[in-house]
Amino acid sequence: MNTISWQDFENVDLRAGTIIRVEDFPKARKPAFKLWIDLGEEIGIKQSSAQITARYTKDDLLNKQVLCVVNFPVKQIADFKSEVLTTGFILPDGEVILASPDFAVANGTRLA
């Protein structure tokens, strides 16, 4: 495992947001959803592509709070611009469990 400095960690902007829209993403190489995530007034609503179809349905995701990296560059995936990285835990079989707060927090709240 590589160690990083506190400064490195502070440079990663992780924020809580609520998924407000979910669509299938048939043009993605691997099964994925298109997500629209409300990250609060300062950041707004951002798009994210997430390969989480094995564990989640669209109904499971709607109104779910998630943790997002909001300061990565935009990534073009097929015809969709993924503006934030929706974080999760990768299981040995490759499936992903989303990272989310235990209790509701305001959209845009920064992880410390």
Q: Give the DSSP letter of residue 105.
A: -
Residue 30, pLDDT score: 92
90, β-bridge pairs: 96
Per-residue confidence in pLDDT tens, the chain, 112 aa: 999 999 999 999 999 999 999 999 999 999 999 999 999 999 999 999 999 999 999 999 999 999 999 999 999 999 999 999 999 999 999 999 999 999 999 999 999 8
What is the pLDDT at residue 33?
Answer: 98
pTM: 0.95
Alpha-carbon distance 108 to 97, whole Å?
Answer: 21
| Phi, psi (rounded to 5 degrees) for 60 | -60, -35
List beta partners, residue 82. Answer: 75
Alpha helices, DSSP H only, in 12-107?
40-43, 58-61
Domains of the chain and any CATH numbers: 9-97 (2.40.50.140)
